[in-house]
Amino acid sequence: MNRREMLRLVGAALAIPSLAALSPEQLLALGRRIHRQAGPRVLDPTQNRIVTTVAEHIIPATDTPGATAARVHEFIDLIVAEWYADDERARFLQGLADVDAKSQDRFGKPFLEATPSEQIALLGALDDEVAALRDAGDRETARRHFFQQMKHLTLWGYYTSEVGVEQELHYVMIPGRYDSCAAAGLGNRGGD
């Protein structure tokens, strides 16, 4: 996933009615506040492990920490529990069950028992489903697709976490610097 896709998905947050009125600064502040409150809310242990695994495949650890280190799974659990409407929550939880069922159909084993390459292949197929819906002009169904929601929540959770903001984005709260006593050298005198 490249930064352009990340920005497009974060921009998709505006499509969620409860988030549409928030400015980017408010989304960042909300994300940080949610990270401080994170903890198990709606996901059972298996669902939590699936969310953790999928999120880590979306943003794996490289030279910067991945989704697991940023505790994205806790963020997603809290959003699904407290921000999603009942129908959205049910659709998300059904999406987790579908990932497991598709893994069982495709590989003969649950998602969490599949090898990392099998998991990535399955997630790639889900991403292809989203792309096909989008290409067919069915943007609303594409937006509500489980994997699209999972990518969106993963990116939002990661890029509003301390890890994502500081180590990946290198966000500086107050840009620039102040040099109170800059030395004047040759060629650096007022009128020269």
CA 24, distance to chain mean position in Å, is 15
For residues 74 and 63, what is the distance between their CA atoms, to the nearest angstrom? Answer: 22
pLDDT over 50 (residue 9): no
Q: Which run of H or of E encompasses 87?
A: helix 86-107
Q: Got the DSSP string for 1-36?
A: --HHHHHHHHHGGGGSHHHHT--HHHHHHHHHHHHH
For residues 129 and 81, what is the distance between their CA atoms, to the nearest angstrom? Answer: 26
CA terminus-to-terminus distance, the chain: 50
For residues 10 and 24, what is the distance between their CA atoms, to the nearest angstrom? Answer: 9
Give 37's Cβ-side CA count (13 Å radius).
13
**Residue range 5-10: mean pLDDT, rounded:** 49
pLDDT over 80 (residue 80): yes
For residues 124 and 132, what is the distance between their CA atoms, to the nearest angstrom? Answer: 12
Whether the Cβ atoms of residue 73 and residue 61 lie closer than 8 Å to each other: no
pLDDT digits (tens, 9 = 90+) for 27-40: 667 666 666 655 57
The number of residues making up the chain comes to: 192
pLDDT digits (tens, 9 = 90+) for 107-121: 999 999 999 999 999
Split at pLDDT 50, 70, 90, the class of 144 is: confident
Split at pLDDT 50, 70, 90, the class of 97 is: very high
**Out of 16-25, 66-75, 113-122, 163-172, least confident range:** 16-25
Domain ranges of the chain: 3-168
Taking CB atoms within 8 Å and a gap of at least 24, the contacts of 107-114 are 111/50, 111/53, 112/46, 112/49, 112/50, 112/53
pLDDT over 90 (residue 183): no
* pTM higher than 0.85: no
The residues, any chain, with a CB within 8 Å of residue 161's CB and separated by 6 or more, are 31, 32, 35, 70, 71, 72, 75
* CA proximity to 38, closest of 126, 141, 160: 160
pLDDT digits (tens, 9 = 90+) for 48-65: 999 999 999 999 999 889
